[in-house]
Amino acid sequence: MPRLLAFDTSTETLSVAVRHGDRVVSRSAAGGPAASATLLPLIQALMEEAGLWLGDLDTIAFGRGPGSFTGLRTACSVAQGLAFGAGIDVLPVDTLLAVAEEARHRFGAERVLALLDARMDQVYAARCDFGTTPPTVSETQLFSPEALVVPEGWAVAGNAWTAYGARLGGVDGATFREVLPGAEAILRLAPALLAAGHAVPPAEALPFYVRDKVAQTTEERAIIKASSASLS
């Protein structure tokens, strides 16, 4: 097994995991704005616990997005810096694929519609099918909660139910699997992704945003406010 460091900072929960042979050590902490200050010390602590130096690693895997813009920039910059220092490649992993892998691992789901809260009254969505190696992942799309359509026979997983609940079209709260794109899921995905040639040089450790903004501009807010006033 490759010696791997994996981390994800795409949500409000930061996670780090290290594989050394058959041994995996992992830890979670608060993410969000705290991720930039927490990630490196946590990586150092887990590397020491696993008995590895940075130069011992074969690859650094990280959640590339979609997710929190700040979190993704943190993950990419840390992955780039560490990989440049170690002289190794990086493995960018789709966070929705990591969500689906966690649902597969914990609940046995083989076809998963992965959903993450995208804020701004939208969700990120992608279909992940584990019937192939590596898994097949559809193009990530943005939907309003009500516009979702769940393919028949597919499991639904992620963190979107907490944010939108019954507004999620075609989703049953009793069967929604509440999971996050954790570092251990990234570790489990890594061997097949590496074998398929998905590793890239450190300079290509880039975030996957889906959309290019997270908030409305002052002008856009003014237009919306004026439009609302004209309708009242």
Q: Residue 59: what are its φ and ψ, rounded to 5°?
A: -155, 155
- When the pLDDT of each residue in the chain is averaged and rounded to a whole number, the result is 90
- The predicted model scores a pTM of 0.89
**Sign of the dihedral through C-alpha 200, 36, 106, 150:** negative
What 3-state DSSP class applies to 159? coil
Per residue in 17-31, pLDDT tens?
A: 999 999 999 999 988
The H-or-E segment that residue 228 falls in is: helix 218-231
Asked whether the predicted pLDDT for residue 69 surpasses 60, the reply is yes
Q: Could you tell me the domains of the chain?
A: 4-94+181-215 (3.30.420.40), 97-178 (3.30.420)
Whether 209 contacts 69, CB under 8 Å: yes
DSSP character for 73?
H
Q: Which tens digit of pLDDT belongs to each residue from 134-186?
A: 999 999 999 999 999 999 999 999 999 999 999 999 898 889 999 999 999 99
Residue type, 183: A
Return the DSSP state at 174: T
pLDDT of residue 212: 61
Q: In this predicted model, what pLDDT tens digit does every residue of 3-20 receive, in sequence order? A: 999 999 999 999 999 999
pLDDT above 90 (res 71):
yes
Is pLDDT at 228 greater than 80 in this prediction? no
